[in-house]
Structure 1
């Protein structure tokens, strides 16, 4: 685990087998939904969200549980209904590159996340003219180049994490402020060659 990172950073994903298990669009959506909401749901409830059949969703949930990414939740009644829940509020991809297979597993998983984030951005761009001006005015796509040391970059990352933490969906969904919407914040801070 990297210095300065704690439990508030979520579950560390270092094992390439876990990364490969997660590297499926439906599985990423399932895990994020469960982690974001903290809800306990059935495979049928999740199926509608990810666009799969309940049996396919059930398979994905069992595979995710096998790798410790989700878990069975206590039953709400007679025990015939199988409920699932997330195990943390977020995931953190933090590979051990000494582990065989880490690099390709990391690249495959990160590639899925990047493609999904690009698709969300493109979707926003295609519909922004129909959005209220208040949301158009506050949306942002930023790219800035910095000249920093590794310690300064660590400080920037910590400040960004600290800035967004109070707005996590899981913590605010029970009593959201009027007019609140789900917003995706994608952040990358990567050294150039």
Structure 2
């Protein structure tokens, strides 16, 4: 979990999970705003914990191409986790929330420049539900089924006017 608790690593992992052919350190560096050598360090850290792996070379074999090692991942400590695991979980949750919130903030600064069709449907909402754990599980399963065919990585030929959209759903008991 600690390997993921860095904004650049989360951004790199997200990028690699969305592309099929992988990316080099130089390509990832442009994305995260770091030098290729600093980005290589983060790529090696992700590889060390099995989150990414080397991809087939695209040409003469001199460049190192990286790809994700998974289709999906979830992060969480076990109920009986020790202090170190709980601290690692807290760090990744903070990094993940900061990244989500930064996406919302970036959109908000440019929202008025959006095309009407996207401006009119972009939303942030909170609904307070009264559900059992089984009902919540069923709801989340149905949402996953609705979202699955629209996921960027799996969509072979998206419509010409489609855009990448961050869909953030949080379902937690109110304490």
- RCO higher in 1 or 2 (8 Å CA, sep ≥ 6)? 1
1:150 alignment partner, one of 130, 133, 139 = 133
| Partner SS for 1:190 | coil
- Worse-superposed segment, 72-81 or 47-56: 72-81
Q: Provide the TM-score with structure 2 as the length reference.
A: 0.93
- Worse-superposed segment, 180-189 or 77-86: 77-86
The alignment's C-alpha RMSD in Å is 1.3
| Partner SS for 1:92 | coil
| Partner SS for 1:170 | helix
1:39 aligns with 2:13: no
2:149 alignment partner, one of 166, 177, 180 = 166
In the TM superposition, what is the alpha-carbon distance from 1:96 to its structure 2 partner?
Answer: 1.7
Q: Which runs of 5+ in 1 are unaligned?
A: 1-18
Map Cα deviations across residues 43-70 of structure 1 (whole Å, 9 max, x no partner): 1111111111111111111110000000
Distance 1:183 1:59 in 2: 29
Distance 1:179 1:74 in 2: 31
The within-5 A match list for 1:103-122 is 103-122=86-105
Alpha carbons 1:32, 1:90 under 8 Å: kept? no
Q: Which runs of 5+ in 2 are unaligned?
A: none
Partner of 1:8: none
In the TM superposition, what is the alpha-carbon distance from 1:77 to its structure 2 partner?
Answer: 2.9
| Partner SS for 2:67 | strand
- The total of aligned residue pairs comes to 174
- Worse-superposed segment, 94-103 or 114-123: 94-103
The within-5 A match list for 1:1-193 is 19-100=1-82, 101-172=84-155, 174-193=156-175
Distance 1:39 1:88 in 2: 14
Distance 1:74 1:157 in 2: 36
Q: Provide the TM-score with structure 1 as the length reference.
A: 0.85
